[in-house]
């Protein structure tokens, strides 16, 4: 898991050249698109992100600023002659929206489109050794956050040690899986002498739209990076509660309590032209916070 590129960081109404929610999680071999507000396909072009590398699209909930760009993107894939499968993971009713619109336009899909309806919080799927699960957030309509967790990677061969013990390379895969080495002369060499600790798999959590909600802390606990909405600055916390959104202070507090490494904040209300105060207010509580700025790729820490 390499990083997250922000395509849209604004709340519902586009303003100040900020766009509705969408971001791209980049893996070595593919990309995941998370939410797909109106204009996402245009943002993908603008930031030169290869659309064909997107294999999965995750939609958190059915407020339009999180999915109105989806049908257009799927349609463009069809017109561009895409052939490889595409997976959409979303609340069940989205399938009705897509099918109705495809039927009315007499759309012929040249690629397999697999719709995965989210039935309940918990495990969703594993893709390229990344385990994906979802959790409920506290929003006006049913809304899911997503956790992308790289499994522990294989141990690394210690090049000096295998040379010293004259281990044949045909043994390397066994060593990476943690087995001890049995030398031709019968000696047993412990695995931890011949290998180095596996690089830790990274975890990214996307907390979607939500009120301040400690109930999902267990799902994101210790993540390397999370994205949490900050629709409002702290002085609008009453408005935030009323609209099922969160403030700067709330997002930072949650990141701190969940003991994550890094926090990205976005979904800024259209009432704010300047965003500096979002940085100041969050960093007071959780210093390793960045504003999710459009077009910027935030690498996993």
- Does residue 267 belong to the site contacting its own copies (CB under 8 A)? no
Binding its own copies by CB under 8 A: which of 6, 33, 39, 300?
39
Alpha carbon of 172 to those of 20, 184, 188, 198, 199: distances in Å? 48, 15, 15, 14, 17
Place of tokens 């997107």: 54
Q: Is 139 annotated among the ligand-binding residues?
A: yes
- Pair of tokens at residue 129: 């050794």
How many residues bind its own copies (CB under 8 A)? The answer is: 33
Dist CA 60 CA 134 (whole Å) = 9
Say which of 35, 65, 213, 290 is annotated catalytic: 65
Q: Is 66 annotated among the ligand-binding residues?
A: yes
- Cβ 104 to its own copies shortest distance, Å: 4
Question: Do the beta carbons of residue 201 and residue 153 sit within 8 Å?
Answer: yes
Dist CA 228 CA 253 (whole Å) = 11
Q: What share of the chain is helix, strand, coil (3-state, %, to 5)?
A: 30, 30, 40
- Does residue 274 belong to the site contacting its own copies (CB under 8 A)? no
Alpha carbon of 294 to those of 8, 102, 151, 215, 268: distances in Å? 6, 30, 29, 29, 12
- Cβ 109 to its own copies shortest distance, Å: 13
Binding its own copies by CB under 8 A: which of 1, 4, 7, 12?
12
- Does residue 69 belong to the site contacting its own copies (CB under 8 A)? yes
- Cβ 74 to its own copies shortest distance, Å: 9
H-type alpha helices, 52-194: 70-79, 94-104, 159-164, 172-176, 191-194
- Does residue 15 belong to the site contacting its own copies (CB under 8 A)? yes
- Does residue 64 belong to the site contacting its own copies (CB under 8 A)? yes
224 in catalytic set: no
**Helix 248-257 and helix 276-285: axis angle, to 10°?**
30
Residues 76-115 as x/- pattern, contact with its own copies by CB under 8 A: x--xx------------xx-xx--xx--xxx---------
| Span of 58-66, 117-125, 256-264, 285-293 interacting with its own copies by CB under 8 A | 58-66
- Does residue 72 belong to the site contacting its own copies (CB under 8 A)? yes
Cβ closest to its own copies, residue 47 vs residue 68: 68
Burial annotation 164-190 (CB, 10 A radius, 16+ → b, else e): eeebeeebeeebbeeeebeeeeeeebe
Report the relative pairing of strands 122-127 and 156-157 from DSSP bridges.
unpaired
Q: Is 245 annotated among the ligand-binding residues?
A: no
- Pair of tokens at residue 61: 């909930």
Catalytic residue numbers?
A: 65
Residues lying near its own copies in the complex (CB under 8 A) = 12-15, 19, 38-39, 41-42, 45, 62-65, 68-69, 71-72, 75-76, 79-80, 93-94, 96-97, 100-101, 104-106, 140-141
> Binding site for Zn(2+): residue ranges?
61, 63, 65-66, 139, 209, 267
> Binding site: residue ranges?
61, 63, 65-66, 139, 209, 267
């Amino acid at each position: 898991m390499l990083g997250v590129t922000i395509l849209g960081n604004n709340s519902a109404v586009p303003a100040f050249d900020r766009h509705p929610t969408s971001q791209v999680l980049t893996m070595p071999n593919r990309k995941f698109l998370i939410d797909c507000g109106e204009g996402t396909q245009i943002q993908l072009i603008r930031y030169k992100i290869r659309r064909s590398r997107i294999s999965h699209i995750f939609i958190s909930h059915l407020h339009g600023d999180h999915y109105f760009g989806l049908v257009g993107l799927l349609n463009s894939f069809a017109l561009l002659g895409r052939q490889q499968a595409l997976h959409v993971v979303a609340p069940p009713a989205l399938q009705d929206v897509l099918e109705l619109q495809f039927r009315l336009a007499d759309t012929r899909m040249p690629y397999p489109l697999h719709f995965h309806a989210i039935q309940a919080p918990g495990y969703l799927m594993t893709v390229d050794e990344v385990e994906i699960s979802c959790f409920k957030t506290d929003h006006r309509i049913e809304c899911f956050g997503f956790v992308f967790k790289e499994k522990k990677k294989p141990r690394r061969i210690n090049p000096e040690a295998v040379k010293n013990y004259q281990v044949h390379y045909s043994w390397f895969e066994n060593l990476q899986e943690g087995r001890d080495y049995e030398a031709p002369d019968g000696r047993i060499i412990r695995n931890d002498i011949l290998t180095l600790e596996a690089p830790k798999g990274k975890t990214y959590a996307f907390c979607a739209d939500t009120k301040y909600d400690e109930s999902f802390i267990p799902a994101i606990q210790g993540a390397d990076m999370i994205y949490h909405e900050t629709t409002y600055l702290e002085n609008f916390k009453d408005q935030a509660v009323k609209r099922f959104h969160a403030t700067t202070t709330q997002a930072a507090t949650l990141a701190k309590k969940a003991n994550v490494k890094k926090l990205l904040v976005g979904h800024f209300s259209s009432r704010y032209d300047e965003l500096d105060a979002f940085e100041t207010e969050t960093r007071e509580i959780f210093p390793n916070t960045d504003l999710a700025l459009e077009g910027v790729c935030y690498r996993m820490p």
